[in-house]
Amino acid sequence: MPTPARPEGELIFIGPPGVGKGTQARLLADRHGWLHLATGDLFREHVGLGTELGKLAETYMSKGLYVPDEITVGMVRSRLSEIDAGRRVIFDGFPRTVAQAGALDALLETLDRHVARVVLIEVPRDELLRRVGARATCTNCQTVYSLAVQPPKVNGVCDRCGSTVVATARADDAPEVVRRRLEEYDAQTKPVVEHYSGRGLLSRVDGVGRMEEVTERLFKAIAA
Ligand code: AMP
């Protein structure tokens, strides 16, 4: 049997809450057949299913705090053990701490994979605060829209599957929780940006503008 081609290397999207990284990562993954691995989505799935992991994660998420590293890394390890060899992974919202970045390197090495590029999406803070309060989600395929930046083409109708889109400020989009999430980002995730920048893997992309424009900027940064 032919050995699968060695993957081009994995991608990481980093950015504060509301920057649009989830929407963009999902879009690019769909377009290119990559696997979109978003730890926030995985935690929300566990919360929805009422698993032990979900119950534990929710105690942190509801306060805007990061879930402890060992729990987060364990969940990623288990997800990575199920993926197809040769399929590129785009990590969204992981790693968020320097310890998670180290754990990811070790994990990828065991799978003969590596990080190819880390993209930091940047948006001014007042714009972030405007965006997080204006989320909407498709009730069927869960596509997330920003009513402030890119609403569905037809009001209330999903561009992707035609089902109903409803305004869904997430429980952790409440202003005081958002403030905590931004503090966590500044304290714990900014050092991750420095970590990858020091390794020459970081690209910075301006996240302001029409969604398609930002997608193209991101794609260029990945392909560079
Ligand atoms: P997100 O959807 O990426 O904004 O994540 C929502 C929440 O899930 C975060 O505020 C954290 O509580 C938790 N979370 C997601 N990813 C991580 C991570 N890599 N490390 C720790 N906590 C995380």
Residue pLDDT tens, the chain, 224 long = 444 444 589 999 999 998 999 989 999 999 999 999 999 999 999 999 999 999 999 999 999 999 999 999 999 999 999 998 889 999 999 999 999 999 999 999 999 999 999 999 999 998 888 888 778 888 888 788 878 777 899 999 999 999 999 987 777 888 889 899 999 999 999 999 999 999 999 999 999 998 899 999 999 999 98
Token digits of residue 81:
């053990």
Selecting among 88, 117, 131, 135, the annotated active-site residue is 135
Ligand 1 pocket member 93 (CB < 6 A):
yes
Q: Quick check: is 135 catalytic?
A: yes
In order of 43, 62, 98, 102, 188, the CA distances from 59 in angstroms are 11, 6, 22, 25, 19
Q: Quick check: is 88 catalytic?
A: no
In order of 89, 102, 136, the CA distances from 105 in angstroms are 13, 5, 34
If you take atom 1 of ligand 1, which residue's CA is the nearest one? 40
* Global pTM value: 0.86
Q: Quick check: is 96 catalytic?
A: yes
